[in-house]
Structure 1
């Protein structure tokens, strides 16, 4: 979970779904400083970064992380989700997409790895990629 957010159920679900689908998830824990996220991206070079925020007061970390990633020249797609998070808020920031359900993440990762999808593609094709109707993307 992002800096300041002590909740980790959503994060734990994402890690579980990724691991169950053959991905090696790097779990940074909860209340993770923004700079630590960027350092982990530099070190691990993931195909996808995900972050969760349950509180409206902590979801502003998404944009701060993206700014730091861009400063570092990192263009990794960044999926954002959590209880208080809304698609319109997430999509105010480039390089991000709104993650609706934790179980969607492996399909989104597959789309990046297997089909070369970008964060822009995911925003446009989310329902098709995850294979189900998603109201937030209709």
Structure 2
């Protein structure tokens, strides 16, 4: 009996993983980044040829206009286009998944003011382009 009480007391003192989880980071604001984009074809942001790989530089602005818990929305802009996009936080509070009409985002939070944005699309989207990229984006401080 004494042993059962000791085990129960030890279990009660152990930290609970779910309760110790970090708060969901707030991303509202503007984020800027420039990176290399590998593409076959033409996207809403860049042009290329379907039969040849082309590497282009692209400056992108993400503006996060809303956040409700793990759900985030806003726009992605370049010199050529603006598009609305939804995103969702994964349970690790570091990974974000997102989508637009052509492809998919994977964003990894590096710090409160920096993330790595990766984007891929295959030729099944409306523009029939193939794209792959990953680059860093930084929060704009006002």
Q: TM-score under structure 2 normalisation?
A: 0.26
| Structure with more strand by fraction | 2
Q: TM-score under structure 1 normalisation?
A: 0.26
| Structure with more helix by fraction | 1
